[in-house]
Structure 1
Amino acid sequence: MINVYTKVGCPACKMTERWLTEHGFGYEELNTTERTELLNDLKLQGYSGLPVVVTANNSWQGFRPDYLSKYLK
């Protein structure tokens, strides 16, 4: 399962979601605008920006097509 932490109005979040969709990956969007406790949890884990992508074995922040290709294919 792929979780993508996003916020409203985040271009990098939309680009990440678009990349996943275009490459046929299912994911769950976790919107931190609607659920602010998620953002607090991410900050405690050391993340300072969105999106944050979490897979079974890896996680990273930002739109990273290089990581998406490397860790998901």
Structure 2
Amino acid sequence: MSITVYTKTHCPQCDATKRQLTKQGLDFDQVDLTANQELVDQFIAKGFKQTPIVVTDEDTWSGYRPDMIKKVAATAKVYA
């Protein structure tokens, strides 16, 4: 399963999301949005207005969402 976490600096919700993903044993890629205005504009156009933005094979969400992280972890265990 592919997981990408789009973050910005000094973002407590980003840090909490990364900690939870790690705690659940999930590997993820991290992309810093602070230096990529084009990506920021793309996400804003899609309606995302807060970080982190988490993109998986099946879902995309923004903000710290422990419920979604648990859902992804459960899905990843099924495919493991």
Alignment of 1:27-38 (within 5 A): 27-38=28-39
Gapped runs of 5+ residues in structure 1? none
Root-mean-square deviation over aligned CA pairs: 0.9
Taking the aligned partners of 2:19 and 2:41, their CA distance within structure 1 comes to 25
- How many correspondences in the alignment? 73
Taking the aligned partners of 2:23 and 2:71, their CA distance within structure 1 comes to 16
Length-normalised TM-score, structure 1: 0.92
Q: CA deviation at 1:46?
A: 0.8
**Contact 2:5/2:54, CA 8 A, preserved across alignment:** yes
Greater radius of gyration (CA): 2
Aligned residue identity for 1:51? P
Query: Percent of aligned pairs with the same residue?
Result: 37
Aligned residue identity for 2:66? P
2:65 pairs with 1:64: yes
**Contact 2:24/2:73, CA 8 A, preserved across alignment:** no
SS at match of 1:14: helix
Aligned to 1:26: 27
Q: Which has the higher helix share?
A: 2
Gapped runs of 5+ residues in structure 2? 75-80
Length-normalised TM-score, structure 2: 0.85
Taking the aligned partners of 2:15 and 2:25, their CA distance within structure 1 comes to 15
**Contact 2:14/2:51, CA 8 A, preserved across alignment:** yes
